[in-house]
Amino acid sequence: MHIHILGICGTFMGGLAVLAKQAGHGVTGCDANVYPPMSDQLRAQGIALTEGWEPRQLDLKPDMFVIGNVVSRGNPLLEAILDRGLPYVSGPQWLAEHVLAGRWVLAVAGTHGKTTTTALLAWILEYAGLRPAFLVGGVPVDFGVSARLSDSPLFVVEADEYDTAFFDKRSKFVHYRPRTVILNNLEFDHADIFPDLAAIETQFHHLVRTVPGNGLIVANSESPSLDTVLKRGCWTPAERFGDAGDWRLGATDSSGETPVSFRSQAQGPLRLALPGYHNRLNALAALAAARHAGVPVATGLQALARFGGVRRRLEARGSVRDIAVYDDFAHHPTAIAATIAALRDRSGSARILAVLEPRSNTMKMGVMKDALPGSLAGADRVFCYSGGLDWDPRQALAPLGDKAVIRGDLSQLVDEIVAAARPSDQILVMSNGGFGGIHEKLLRKL
């Protein structure tokens, strides 16, 4: 089958393209912005890319057009597909029908931590010799790729709650029909498509409805919204993790080891290079899901001690004059606070200079602006890029006083960060986009 993917440079659609190619399908694709690193990864797989949405791409005559959720009505290529009555399908549906069918799907859902937890779970299964197939919304260091097909019956997938396509407004994850599912947490997000938290809870309820009775739901016991979801109906055994759960963490000792217990039975120490309580919870969830797939907890703990991390999740980008620059994907206030706390956990008393680009659709709408001062309170200095915002971050960040600097010019922002930095500082850059290459700019200026 030849498929042509609209929106191929997105993390999910790019991973789907790699899986389709590895499965023996012909794959081409297009996007509005074809640029590295995704363009390089796709071309390395022999996938031809077209920049833009010109209807002449119909001349490729694929068997199926796979439509990403970035594509809306009015897109010229989509309109041409519809006018001619050509076959099309969403990315999640194509994945479910052509890759996931017949496999044991282990899905990782939640507002935060999906990418890291998916990578942790895939790595545990890999370490145990099970060679899982996977699709991760980032690049795990231990694999070097975001997606891989294998002959294993196990498939680990990052299960996003964002909508599926222009014609299917259900969350992506309702297509995957997992046997094992992790519900990492649940908060309000994606204000561009969900009116309120209750609407997201309904989508998670739909996901729970798809899990079979011989499956397993691994759910965070510290998330009230997940309690609400499970109380609406649950037909599958559930194991909870966290303070009030079946799976619990003890106190981390001076050597960095954290005791793990399951239903009051000691399982062994967790040793994880990733800092922060949220990452230890991610690891706990991955242990539980891997156990359901047959991996002994002791083996899982050994794997976690060797986990190399995920790119763009507190990824060290370089150090100049003893000033370190980190890159992180955090863009929700809860994730911002957790990332700063994790870096504090690692760096101790060193100053943290938080650099934020409020770039997600939810952030651009200003829905969570009032929560930003609290989420950034753990940083010693805050630098915020205001370009492209319809709300005033100066007003929103006023509670931080002189600690916050807001600039709409990226070059000026870089200059002010460099002027403020001093040896031993930790510069933490947080954005869900490329942020104008700010990491390299900072390292060069420093």
| pLDDT > 80? residue 191 | no
| pLDDT > 80? residue 393 | yes
CATH of the domain at 437: 3.90.190.20
In this structure, are 110 and 77 located in the same domain?
Answer: no
In this structure, are 206 and 282 located in the same domain?
Answer: yes
Q: Tell me whether residue 119 is in a domain.
A: yes
In this structure, are 161 and 128 located in the same domain?
Answer: yes
Q: How far is residue 347's CA from residue 351's CA, in Å, rounded to a whole number? A: 8
Q: Tell me whether residue 97 is in a domain.
A: no
Q: Tell me whether residue 217 is in a domain.
A: yes
- Per the structure, how many domains does the chain have? 3
Mean of the pLDDT values across residues 82-94?
98
The packing angle between helices 333-347 and 277-292, to 10°, is: 100
The pLDDT of residue 35: 64
pTM of the model: 0.89
Q: Which residue has the higher pLDDT, 183 or 274?
A: 183
Q: How far is residue 101's CA from residue 250's CA, in Å, rounded to a whole number? A: 39
Quick one: which of 42, 121, 148 has its CA closest to 293?
121
Of 273, 304, 335, the one marking the end of a domain is: 304
In this structure, are 242 and 167 located in the same domain?
Answer: yes
Quick one: which of 140, 142, 170 has its CA closest to 158?
140
Mean of the pLDDT values across residues 126-137?
97
The range of the structural domain enclosing residue 55 comes to: 2-92
Q: Tell me whether residue 214 is in a domain.
A: yes
Percent of the chain scoring above 70 in pLDDT:
99
**402 contacts: CB under 8 Å, gap ≥ 6:** none
In this structure, are 216 and 294 located in the same domain?
Answer: yes
The pLDDT of residue 69: 93
In this structure, are 325 and 424 located in the same domain?
Answer: yes
| pLDDT > 80? residue 369 | yes
β-strand pairing of 26-31 with 2-6: parallel
Q: For the chain, how many residues are written?
A: 446
The pLDDT of residue 326: 93
Q: Tell me whether residue 399 is in a domain.
A: yes
In this structure, are 109 and 86 located in the same domain?
Answer: no
Taking only the tens place, the pLDDT of each residue in 91-105 is: 999 999 999 999 999
Q: Tell me whether residue 59 is in a domain.
A: yes
In this structure, are 291 and 166 located in the same domain?
Answer: yes
CATH of the domain at 256: 3.40.1190.10
> Over the chain, what is the mean pLDDT?
93
Asked whether 68 and 95 are in contact (CB, 8 A), the reply is no
In this structure, are 110 and 259 located in the same domain?
Answer: yes
Mean of the pLDDT values across residues 365-393?
88
Mean of the pLDDT values across residues 293-302?
98
In this structure, are 115 and 222 located in the same domain?
Answer: yes
